[in-house]
Protein backbone atom coordinates (compact mmCIF):
# COMPACT_ATOMS: atom_id res chain seq x y z
CA UNK A 1 0.00 0.00 0.00
CA UNK A 2 2.86 2.39 0.80
CA UNK A 3 4.33 1.74 -2.65
CA UNK A 4 1.02 2.57 -4.34
CA UNK A 5 0.74 5.83 -2.43
CA UNK A 6 4.41 6.69 -3.06
CA UNK A 7 3.87 6.25 -6.80
CA UNK A 8 1.15 8.93 -6.69
CA UNK A 9 3.58 11.55 -5.29
CA UNK A 10 0.76 12.96 -3.19
CA UNK A 11 0.53 16.52 -1.97
CA UNK A 12 0.01 16.80 0.89
CA UNK A 13 1.99 13.69 1.72
CA UNK A 14 -0.01 10.95 3.42
CA UNK A 15 0.37 10.33 7.12
CA UNK A 16 1.60 6.79 7.59
CA UNK A 17 1.58 5.18 11.02
CA UNK A 18 3.53 1.93 11.23
CA UNK A 19 1.24 0.30 13.77
CA UNK A 20 2.96 -3.09 13.72
CA UNK A 21 6.34 -1.59 14.69
CA UNK A 22 5.07 0.40 17.66
CA UNK A 23 5.48 -0.72 21.27
CA UNK A 24 1.75 -0.27 21.80
CA UNK A 25 0.75 -2.29 18.70
CA UNK A 26 -1.14 -4.88 20.78
CA UNK A 27 -3.38 -2.11 22.09
CA UNK A 28 -3.47 0.14 19.04
CA UNK A 29 -4.37 -2.47 16.40
CA UNK A 30 -7.58 -3.64 18.14
CA UNK A 31 -8.50 -0.03 18.92
CA UNK A 32 -8.16 0.93 15.25
CA UNK A 33 -10.23 -2.11 14.25
CA UNK A 34 -12.96 -1.04 16.66
CA UNK A 35 -12.90 2.62 15.54
CA UNK A 36 -12.85 1.90 11.81
CA UNK A 37 -14.90 -1.33 11.78
CA UNK A 38 -12.10 -2.81 9.64
CA UNK A 39 -10.53 -5.91 11.20
CA UNK A 40 -7.13 -6.05 9.52
CA UNK A 41 -4.04 -3.97 8.92
CA UNK A 42 -3.16 -2.04 6.86
CA UNK A 43 -6.02 0.42 7.07
CA UNK A 44 -6.22 3.19 4.48
CA UNK A 45 -8.37 6.19 5.30
CA UNK A 46 -9.20 8.75 2.63
CA UNK A 47 -11.32 11.67 3.69
CA UNK A 48 -11.99 9.89 6.98
CA UNK A 49 -13.40 6.79 5.26
CA UNK A 50 -11.91 3.30 5.22
CA UNK A 51 -11.05 2.30 1.65
CA UNK A 52 -10.79 -1.50 1.87
CA UNK A 53 -8.41 -4.42 1.90
CA UNK A 54 -5.01 -4.33 0.24
CA UNK A 55 -6.39 -6.27 -2.74
CA UNK A 56 -9.31 -3.85 -3.07
CA UNK A 57 -6.92 -0.89 -2.91
CA UNK A 58 -4.73 -2.41 -5.64
CA UNK A 59 -7.82 -2.87 -7.83
CA UNK A 60 -8.97 0.71 -7.17
CA UNK A 61 -5.52 2.02 -8.07
CA UNK A 62 -5.49 -0.01 -11.28
CA UNK A 63 -8.88 1.22 -12.47
CA UNK A 64 -8.28 4.86 -11.44
CA UNK A 65 -10.91 4.98 -8.70
CA UNK A 66 -8.34 5.40 -5.90
CA UNK A 67 -6.95 8.48 -7.61
CA UNK A 68 -10.47 9.92 -7.89
CA UNK A 69 -11.08 9.27 -4.19
CA UNK A 70 -7.85 11.06 -3.26
CA UNK A 71 -8.54 14.11 -5.41
CA UNK A 72 -12.16 14.29 -4.20
CA UNK A 73 -10.82 14.37 -0.63
CA UNK A 74 -8.53 17.30 -1.53
CA UNK A 75 -5.26 15.52 -2.29
CA UNK A 76 -3.24 16.22 -5.40
CA UNK A 77 -1.72 13.48 -7.51
CA UNK A 78 1.89 14.11 -8.65
CA UNK A 79 1.98 17.13 -6.37
CA UNK A 80 0.05 19.09 -8.96
CA UNK A 81 -1.66 22.29 -8.00
CA UNK A 82 -3.23 25.03 -10.00
CA UNK A 83 -0.53 27.28 -11.34
CA UNK A 84 -0.81 30.92 -10.37
CA UNK A 85 -0.31 33.33 -13.19
CA UNK A 86 2.91 35.28 -12.92
CA UNK A 87 2.41 39.02 -13.17
Rounded-to-integer distance, Cα 76 and Cα 12, Å: 7
End-to-end CA distance of the chain: 41
Q: What is the pTM of this model?
A: 0.81
Handedness of CA 40, 64, 5, 14 (dihedral sign): negative
Please report, for the chain, the start and end positions of each structural domain, with discontinuous segments joined by +: 2-14+24-79
What integer pLDDT is reported at residue 51 of this predicted model?
96
CB-neighbour burial class of residue 27 (10 A; exposed 0-12, middle 13-18, buried 19+): exposed
Q: Do residues 44 and 56 make contact, with C-beta atoms less than 8 angstroms apart?
A: no
Q: Which of 11, 2, 4 is CA-nearest to residue 77?
A: 11
Spell out the per-residue pLDDT of the chain, length 87, in tens. 999 999 999 999 999 999 999 999 999 999 999 999 999 999 999 999 999 999 999 999 999 999 999 999 999 998 654 445 555
Amino acid sequence: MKAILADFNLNPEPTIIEVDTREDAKILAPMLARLTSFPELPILLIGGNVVGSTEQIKALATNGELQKMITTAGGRIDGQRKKKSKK
